Amino acid sequence: MSIALKQVFNKDKTFRPKRKFEPGTQRFELHKRAQASLNSGVDLKAAVQLPNGEDLNDWVAVHVVDFFNRINLIYGTICEFCTERTCPVMSGGPKYEYRWQDDLKYKKPTALPAPQYMNFLMDWIEVQINNEDIFPTSVGVPFPKNFLQICKKILCRLFRVFVHVYIHHFDRIIIMGAEAHVNTCYKHFYYFVTELNLIDRKELEPLKEMTARMCH
């Protein structure tokens, strides 16, 4: 990684603290294995496949936390350019607008400026991945029955961060020299969610043309 890119992805730019896995746990070992595959330059399509004998929920949990950390970091690099003035709505070009709903303060889908939407989104995900009842860290504690449904919603909303960054802020990513890093992260995410059918295909529409060029 170049010095310029290291400066882009330094810890001061992280949008919020990273969630880590406890050493010695099964999930930590899976996390290490997933990272080793990526670092070895292995084919990303192969890297996302569920390893033989491993639990699907564990595999998904590791990746959801990892993608949250990475996408968080990507948005953190451009968040000073994503303001209520530049991005008064959370959108992906003129055809796609994303409205916020959390069943707490916002019980109905509500139009928000992109930075506000992003803050709510990252807070909402962080609460869930730090909730032991949803993402248990103790050995032998089962995942909830609706775990995959929860993860599908998290991943669907994380995809919207990619949509907004690619369509509205990719010029900044290029200026920072982070294009290759962001593209690799996107490809990894795309292969993972499509391999395990974790995102509805219609949600992927906003980046369909770019994805076809990049991932096929």
Each residue of 93-114: pLDDT tens digit?
999 999 999 988 899 999 999 9
Whether residue 168 is annotated as binding a ligand: the answer is: no
Whether residue 164 is annotated as binding a ligand: the answer is: yes
CB half-sphere exposure, 121, CA atoms < 13 A: 28
Mean pLDDT of the chain: 84
pLDDT at 145 over 80: yes
pLDDT at 31 over 60: no
5 C-beta neighbours (distance < 10 Å), count: 15
Radius of gyration of the chain (CA): 17
Quick one: pLDDT at residue 51? 87
Domains by residue range for the chain, with CATH: 3-8+24-215 (1.20.140.30)
Whether residue 79 is annotated as binding a ligand: the answer is: no
Whether residue 188 is annotated as binding a ligand: the answer is: no
